[in-house]
């Protein structure tokens, strides 16, 4: 298992080596992990190399604590440490907020964004607050995390879902709570205009948390952004409708590559 030291902390990641075009995948909150991206990474065109940072399960906490700003700093430092030239960041849910922050705070570290079922703020996202309360009250036991995780999928194979919950129970409870609190406090709506790279905004039509309003805010705020609606998916389209997700994702990667070559 590969690890890299960033800010004195050991950071675990998974990788799929391919061609010279780099992509960094960032998972969501509530105990999610890099394993969620395994099939997406395997399906990448051969000219891309993929790296998925694992922020909860096997990595040390950031020195700045568990929050989305610390994860953004870690993402930019990871790109520099691995000598990745302006990678495309692919962020799911919490990871999408981390991706936005990275593009805002460390613009030279980012070549494009894929923002999957995420938003710029928790405005009109009561579910996030309800699930945080459930986590505080129930702790990190399997029953609580199974209940919380059920919101991320409209449909998922039983074995896949069981494995997802099993991994989530290994995440530190204090880390999950702290990150969720930082998400609720974060509002990037007035800073989206600072994002200067192309962005693909992926919306799951059956997502019960991140609505089309959240997607539209990203589209309105990021000047070079396009929408891809996953009509049969909930909150996690890369796992629920992988063919549709990969088609939109790969088209966007080719667009980013063409733009970089032109510039």
- Structural domains in the chain plus CATH codes: 3-262 (3.40.50.1820)
Instruction: Provide the pLDDT confidence category of residue 48 given band limits of 50, 70 and 90.
Output: very high
Residue whose tokens read 């030291």: 5
Contact in structure between 179 and 29 (CB atoms under 8 Å): yes
Nearest partner of 81 among 69, 73, 89, judged by Cα: 73
User: What is the mean predicted confidence (pLDDT) over 198-205?
Assistant: 98
How far, in Å, are 1, 94, 173, 221 from residue 169 at the CA level? 20, 18, 9, 36
Better-predicted residue by pLDDT, 57 or 6: 6
* Interval 94-107 mean pLDDT: 98
The share of the chain scoring above pLDDT 90, in percent, equals: 87
Phi, psi at residue 149, to the nearest 5°? -65, -25
The answer to whether residue 218 scores a pLDDT higher than 60 is: yes
Residue of higher predicted confidence among 70 and 127: 70
- The phi, psi pair for 170, rounded to 5°, reads -85, -5
Residues in the chain: 263
Which of 182, 121, 130 minimizes the C-alpha distance to 151?
130
- Give the model's pLDDT for residue 72: 98
What confidence category does residue 262 fall into, taking pLDDT thresholds of 50, 70 and 90? low
Mapped onto helix, strand or coil, the DSSP state of residue 54 is: strand
pTM of the model: 0.95
In the predicted model, is pLDDT for residue 160 greater than 80? yes
How many percent of the chain have pLDDT more than 70? Answer: 98
Which two three-digit tokens encode residue 6? 């960033």
Is a pLDDT exceeding 90 seen at residue 205? Answer: yes
What value does the CA radius of gyration of the chain take, rounded to a whole number of Å? 17
What is the reported pLDDT for 73? 98
List, in sequence order, every residue forming a beta bridge with 225; answer none if it has no partner.
199
Please check the confidence at residue 260 and state whether its pLDDT lies above 90.
no
In this prediction, residues 178-195 reach a mean pLDDT of 96
| CB contact set of 130 (below 8 Å; sequence gap of 6+) | none
pLDDT digits (tens, 9 = 90+) for 115-148: 999 999 998 888 889 999 999 999 888 999 999 9
Q: Residue 49: which of 86, 76, 85, 22 has the closest Cα?
A: 22
The pLDDT of residue 257 is 83
């Amino acid at each position: 298992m590969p690890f890299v030291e960033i800010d004195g902390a050991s950071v675990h990641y998974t990788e799929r080596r391919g061609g010279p075009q780099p992509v960094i995948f960032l998972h969501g909150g509530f105990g999610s992990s890099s394993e969620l991206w395994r099939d997406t990474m395997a399906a990448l065109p051969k000219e891309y190399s993929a790296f998925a940072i694992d922020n909860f399960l096997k990595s040390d906490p950031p020195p700045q604590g568990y929050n989305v700003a610390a994860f953004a700093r870690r993402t930019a430092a990871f790109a520099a440490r691995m000598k990745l030239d302006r990678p495309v960041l692919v962020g799911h849910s919490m990871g999408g907020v981390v991706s936005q922050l990275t593009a805002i705070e460390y613009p030279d570290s980012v070549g494009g964004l894929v923002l999957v079922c995420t938003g710029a703020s928790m405005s009109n996202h009561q579910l996030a607050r309800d699930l945080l309360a459930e986590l505080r009250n129930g702790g990190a036991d399997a029953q609580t995390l199974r209940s919380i995780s059920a919101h991320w999928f409209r449909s998922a194979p039983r074995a896949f879902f069981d494995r997802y919950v099993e991994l989530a129970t290994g995440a530190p409870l204090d880390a999950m709570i702290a990150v969720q609190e930082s998400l609720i406090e974060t509002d990037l709506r007035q800073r989206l205009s600072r994002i200067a790279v192309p962005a693909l905004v992926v919306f799951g039509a059956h997502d019960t948390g991140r609505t089309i309003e959240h997607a539209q805010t990203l589209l309105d705020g990021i000047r070079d952004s396009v929408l891809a609606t996953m009509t049969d998916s909930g909150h996690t389209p890369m796992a629920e409708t992988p063919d549709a997700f990969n088609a939109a994702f790969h088209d966007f990667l080719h667009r980013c590559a063409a733009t970089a070559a032109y510039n």
